[in-house]
């Protein structure tokens, strides 16, 4: 599995990357591999308040559906709408083209509470 060391991870299999004052998030390589080929993504609502650990959307594959959880608390400010037409970007490139949404965090320090790649992998 590919879990880059420059990212942080939630135990619920989401990853985060800081970009300026925003946090980009998606599902981990482990999660997309377990789900199989994705066919649909139900995004969180734009401008919605999300709470860390809260289910905010769903990813559906040919095998199953799984909740997407907010890794940190904040406001959803952008969605990767390219995934509406091509959700398999998440399977092909979960950490770049396959990002799902961006959060403006209430407290950027919350990112430090998430798991390192080695801690995440140890829990798999």
Q: Is the per-residue pLDDT at 1 higher than 90?
A: no
pLDDT band at residue 45 using 50, 70 and 90 as cut-offs: very high
pLDDT band at residue 34 using 50, 70 and 90 as cut-offs: very high
Q: Is the per-residue pLDDT at 12 higher than 90?
A: yes
**According to the model, what pLDDT value does residue 57 have?**
97
- Per-residue model confidence as pLDDT tens digits over 104-124: 999 999 999 999 999 999 999
State which fold the 8-106 domain adopts.
Answer: OB fold (Dihydrolipoamide Acetyltransferase, E2P) (2.40.50)
- Per-residue model confidence as pLDDT tens digits over 49-105: 999 999 999 999 998 999 999 999 999 999 999 999 999 999 999 999 999 999 999
Nearest 5°: the CA angle 106, 24, 32 is 125
The pLDDT of 34-56, averaged and rounded, is 97
Give the other-Cβ count within 10 Å of 72's Cβ: 24
**According to the model, what pLDDT value does residue 61 have?**
95
- Asked if 61 and 35 touch (Cβ cutoff 8 Å), the reply is yes
Torsions phi, psi of 82, nearest 5?
A: -60, -25
| CA 33 – CA 13 distance, rounded (Å) | 11
């Amino acid at each position: 599995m590919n879990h880059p060391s420059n990212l942080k991870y939630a135990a619920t299999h989401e990853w985060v990357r800081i970009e300026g004052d925003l946090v980009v998030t998606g599902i981990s390589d482990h999660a997309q591999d377990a789900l199989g080929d994705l066919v649909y993504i139900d995004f969180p609502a734009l401008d919605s308040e999300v709470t860390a650990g809260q289910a905010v959307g769903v990813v559906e594959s040919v095998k199953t559906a799984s909740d997407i959880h907010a890794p940190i608390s904040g406001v959803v400010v952008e969605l990767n709408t390219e995934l509406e037409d091509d959700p398999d970007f998440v399977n092909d490139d979960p950490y770049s083209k396959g990002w799902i949404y961006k959060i403006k965090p209430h407290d950027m320090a919350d990112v430090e509470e998430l798991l390192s790649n080695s801690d995440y992998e140890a829990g798999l």
